Structure 1
């Protein structure tokens, strides 16, 4: 017994009268309903946050005092972890109040933290230190610490009823708050005046025991009311979770997950409290998880996929239990056959558990995902069915966008593919699509470290499901992409062939016109002149006939020159001796210095002809347009390709354009299945490279 009985009774009376009065004040807004109206001004928000921070500072100071009082008088984990729990729950309340000052959940957390610091930790620390050092009021402090847990049910019930927005879903739930308040008052009074708690005091007797009052009945009634209120709060939380959607559903899942462990771990640890004392800290860790879960739910609810965490937790917990049971059963069975404790029995049981791990895990995960990650499971099943039909040739891969919309239940989703040449984005059918609106969320699709497309959609809560769905649809995405590239290449080949045909027709008409207007007219004139010379010779006018024949010979020379000019677009005879000889002759006729570096290999005739005309065009462009003073021609055999390059030191800036001559060269090379590139920087010259596939 404490020597200072009056001080003890004063503290005890404070516990009886003030404890039940303090916490109801904190939950009066819940009973009265949340205040609605105008939003807080910036100054009001700052003032409210300042009050919350001040309470947090007081809580921290009290906890530091409690740690100092309890140091080495109880297990260190008990001293430190429960201090962390109190500071964490108060700190979470401050964080929530800073963002949502009207959210009653924040103030419930702050109230719990402050009450726990004063009534539980500081009181218990004082009781321990006062008992050890002979300080006064040890019994009263111990009594206050013992009864501190029951009033905490009031804000706890309020949190369960109003999480996450601080509002009741229905006015009828106020009954649960009143039940918690009445239960805390009756139970606290009954527990405080009960003679049965005397063993908790240093003297072994409760100094406030009232034998005439039905304290045991009062305690039972108080506990029953508090328990009923907690049950009602749990039911309200479950109903809100079941009816919620979107963001609020994710928030409630986070909080329910944390509460589940806080409600499950302490009873399990209590069952083995004396047998396995090293498990006791798990109780504190489980309680700390509640404010952490609430903070994530309200402040950072999209930080992690809560469905994934729940699914993995349950699957591995069940997997551990089943594998343990399998190991024990196998070891027992083998022990009966080969003898108990035999190494063979242990090894056989371990092997059985190892073999069963993968299939058992897959089956468990599939079953749990079906229940707890229904949206993800259904979406993946839809994609798996589509890919099965795709392999069987029952559906086209271009239907992927519609399948993704159906799997994710999002008709705003759009699937787009990027083109390698930097062109506009296209859909699965190759149709160019307008640019995406800025308000849409974009999710890039990568294959082999390269972005091949993206998914755009309106902001949605199922974004966490999209990533595994896209990963599962990898085969369909790849097939669609390859078909788009093939379609694009076929379109390019078709367009190239059309341009080649058009160019050939144009060239034929040009030759036909030149022959008609030039050589043909000259040959007609020559024929008439020869006929005229024949008449002159017959009449004996030899001088006139000689002049007529001279004019005919001159016209024949001009006609030959015109025909030679027309023949320049045809395969030159010098190619019969090889590409190197033809290019050297071409270089000799050039008006600038031309360096020729050609391998002696012979190539297929059609390839040599195409390479020759590429060099001719490149050489003409360098002299005519690039103002080059030096040109280099290179011909190399590289693997199974003929590589031809024309490089000059001209003005540069050349590019393939829709009406430029380089487009014709590109088409000529593409017609042979080759590749044509232009590297031309302004002021640094131009390098044309044509690669032709060929077999040597």
Structure 2
């Protein structure tokens, strides 16, 4: 096996490379960095002043604040206005676009959001003009009402094709962009000619417009497949917003029971998607998306379990006993008791499933221990052995990073880290307060070390030889399984660390002797030069 050597704060003599061990594809990091798969293009910008964006956002927010008063002034109610889709407003998109431009001046995605909010603001203000009963209200509303087509095109066609850097994926996608622009122009023209939408051509045009919106999601999916690292997390935020918004939009389109309620559901995408895009572009708490997805899956699963249990017991059993149409106190209490008893086991099972879906498969403790035994027994201990140990720790606990520390003299040095990180050199050695290495924290688990949510000392015959540490991803806690696994690995790796420690101390002494010899030679040369002078 070609082993990836972790950057370390120390050097160890190398030995025969360890032979190939069990496959570790479960938590393997991304492929090696190359210009083809990791380079991020610079974001496209527009040479427009930020002040223009701020002014448009202010107008959009002002229109949103006036909207409730305009509805009441027209003699309608907020419920009726929601049912007529009069409360649909994307002022939030304009405000968030201005925020993006404040942090990333000229960013195309920010300007698209501002444009969507500004166009919608004109539609909204014309509607409010009519609602306040001002002169020629219907004419003014008709003059601007068609702009909602452009607003929709900005959000559903332009954003998916340009996210996240404001550029098309490649030149080959230009026909799709032109197709979206032409369909948008056609739909807007037909809406101006026939606002009521009675013409068949109008219906066909808007079907094609919807097709263009769906087709614009294709480059978004292609980008996601090619993305790595932080860019991939950006797409996760957007797809999370789409996963919430699309089902809501589907419910709105197929439900005909409560027009007001279903129309109000359309407000959800107008909030969720701009927020997700803004978080992704600004990269604010970008890597929290994995935790958000995991918690969402957990909550959704628990909600489904509670609903199924209640419906199954109260309705199902009630139907069997002839009380399906009447509430039954006994069945309700039984359903509550079943949910209360099964809640924790179900929650733990759903949490494992959610973590598996989000973070990938993690090796079982048995896999980790057997893999370590196989690799250690197959060859002499070397620095590669510590890299493999760190990799097994990361696979078994989901840690980022997992690190092996080796005691050399009166200090602990980082000997191996997984996943390999470029900043490992910055991880300084930790001094021990005494020669016996008895610098323990209050819990007695060893010295406090950086990037460590859990640290387990490695001892042999009572002597501290090193430490095994893990740092859990944000939102995850150290579990009893993690503690047990690291404890077993620490117990099994004592002999390995002792041998490597002797090698490291020998190398350190050789280095010190070489440095001392050079100092002696330098002193002799200086003395000879003074005598000759």
Measured against the shorter chain, the TM-score band is 0.5 to 0.7
Return the match for 1:91 from 86, 95, 115. 95
| 1:425 match: secondary structure | strand
- Structure 1 pair 476/228, CA: closer, same or farther in 2 (3 Å)? same
CA distance in 1, matches of 2:70, 2:100: 31
Task: Quote the residue 2:163 is aligned against.
Answer: 163
How do residues 516-555 of structure 1 correspond to structure 2 at under 5 angstroms? none
Is residue 105 from structure 1 mapped to residue 109 from structure 2 by the alignment? yes
| 2:412 match: secondary structure | coil
- Structure 1 pair 384/280, CA: closer, same or farther in 2 (3 Å)? farther
CA distance in 2, matches of 1:38, 1:153: 23
Is residue 137 from structure 1 mapped to residue 120 from structure 2 by the alignment? no
Return the match for 2:280 from 297, 318, 333. 297
Q: CA deviation at 1:126?
A: 1.6
The count of corresponding residues between Structure 1 and Structure 2 is 408
CA distance in 2, matches of 1:196, 1:407: 62
- Structure 1 pair 59/127, CA: closer, same or farther in 2 (3 Å)? same
Return the match for 1:321 from 298, 301, 304. 304
Q: CA deviation at 1:188?
A: 2.5
Is residue 465 from structure 1 mapped to residue 453 from structure 2 by the alignment? no
Is residue 306 from structure 1 mapped to residue 293 from structure 2 by the alignment? no
Task: Quote the residue 1:240 is aligned against.
Answer: 223
- Structure 1 pair 264/451, CA: closer, same or farther in 2 (3 Å)? farther
CA distance in 1, matches of 2:255, 2:170: 40
- Structure 1 pair 368/466, CA: closer, same or farther in 2 (3 Å)? closer
CA deviations 1:370-395 (Å, max 9, x no partner) are: 33332xx43xx355632688999x99
Task: Quote the residue 1:257 is aligned against.
Answer: 240
CA RMSD of aligned residues (A): 4.7
Q: CA deviation at 1:369?
A: 3.2
Return the match for 1:475 from 464, 477, 484. 484
Is residue 372 from structure 1 mapped to residue 358 from structure 2 by the alignment? yes
Q: CA deviation at 1:138?
A: 2.4
* Matched-pair contact (CA < 8 Å) for 1:153–1:180: no
CA distance in 1, matches of 2:203, 2:317: 52
| 2:405 match: secondary structure | strand
Q: CA deviation at 1:252?
A: 0.8
CA distance in 2, matches of 1:269, 1:317: 20
| 1:305 match: secondary structure | helix
| Structure 1 unaligned residues grouped into runs of 5+ | 1-35, 198-214, 430-434, 489-696
* Matched-pair contact (CA < 8 Å) for 1:160–1:237: yes
- Structure 1 pair 447/163, CA: closer, same or farther in 2 (3 Å)? farther
Is residue 401 from structure 1 mapped to residue 401 from structure 2 by the alignment? no
* Matched-pair contact (CA < 8 Å) for 1:183–1:225: yes
CA distance in 2, matches of 1:143, 1:447: 73
Q: CA deviation at 1:182?
A: 2.1
- Structure 1 pair 54/275, CA: closer, same or farther in 2 (3 Å)? closer
- Structure 1 pair 220/38, CA: closer, same or farther in 2 (3 Å)? closer
Q: CA deviation at 1:332?
A: 3.3
Task: Quote the residue 2:23 is aligned against.
Answer: none
State the TM-score, normalizing by the size of structure 2.
Answer: 0.62
CA deviations 1:308-355 (Å, max 9, x no partner) are: 222322343243234323321222343245441432222223333334
Task: Quote the residue 1:537 is aligned against.
Answer: none
* Matched-pair contact (CA < 8 Å) for 1:250–1:301: no
CA deviations 1:260-288 (Å, max 9, x no partner) are: 32222233245556538456544324311
Structure showing greater Rg: 1
- Structure 1 pair 355/149, CA: closer, same or farther in 2 (3 Å)? farther
Task: Quote the residue 1:174 is aligned against.
Answer: 174
CA deviations 1:564-618 (Å, max 9, x no partner) are: xxxxxxxxxxxxxxxxxxxxxxxxxxxxxxxxxxxxxxxxxxxxxxxxxxxxxxx
Task: Quote the residue 1:343 is aligned against.
Answer: 329
* Matched-pair contact (CA < 8 Å) for 2:50–2:102: yes
CA distance in 1, matches of 2:225, 2:337: 42
CA deviations 1:489-547 (Å, max 9, x no partner) are: xxxxxxxxxxxxxxxxxxxxxxxxxxxxxxxxxxxxxxxxxxxxxxxxxxxxxxxxxxx
Higher share in helix: 1
CA distance in 2, matches of 1:487, 1:248: 39
- Structure 1 pair 144/363, CA: closer, same or farther in 2 (3 Å)? farther
CA distance in 1, matches of 2:472, 2:496: 33
Task: Quote the residue 1:226 is aligned against.
Answer: 209
Q: CA deviation at 1:67?
A: 5.2
CA distance in 2, matches of 1:48, 1:481: 60
Q: CA deviation at 1:117?
A: 0.5
- Structure 1 pair 324/145, CA: closer, same or farther in 2 (3 Å)? farther
CA distance in 1, matches of 2:176, 2:292: 31
How do residues 571-586 of structure 1 correspond to structure 2 at under 5 angstroms? none
Task: Quote the residue 2:368 is aligned against.
Answer: 386
CA distance in 1, matches of 2:159, 2:337: 48
- Structure 1 pair 75/479, CA: closer, same or farther in 2 (3 Å)? farther
| 1:92 match: secondary structure | helix
State the TM-score, normalizing by the size of structure 1.
Answer: 0.49
* Matched-pair contact (CA < 8 Å) for 1:105–1:165: yes
CA deviations 1:71-121 (Å, max 9, x no partner) are: 454544869x998953321122122223333431111011001101112x1
- Structure 1 pair 76/450, CA: closer, same or farther in 2 (3 Å)? farther
* Matched-pair contact (CA < 8 Å) for 2:100–2:281: yes
| Structure 2 unaligned residues grouped into runs of 5+ | 1-40, 417-422, 431-439, 453-469, 498-533
- Structure 1 pair 102/234, CA: closer, same or farther in 2 (3 Å)? same
Return the match for 2:271 from 271, 276, 288. 288
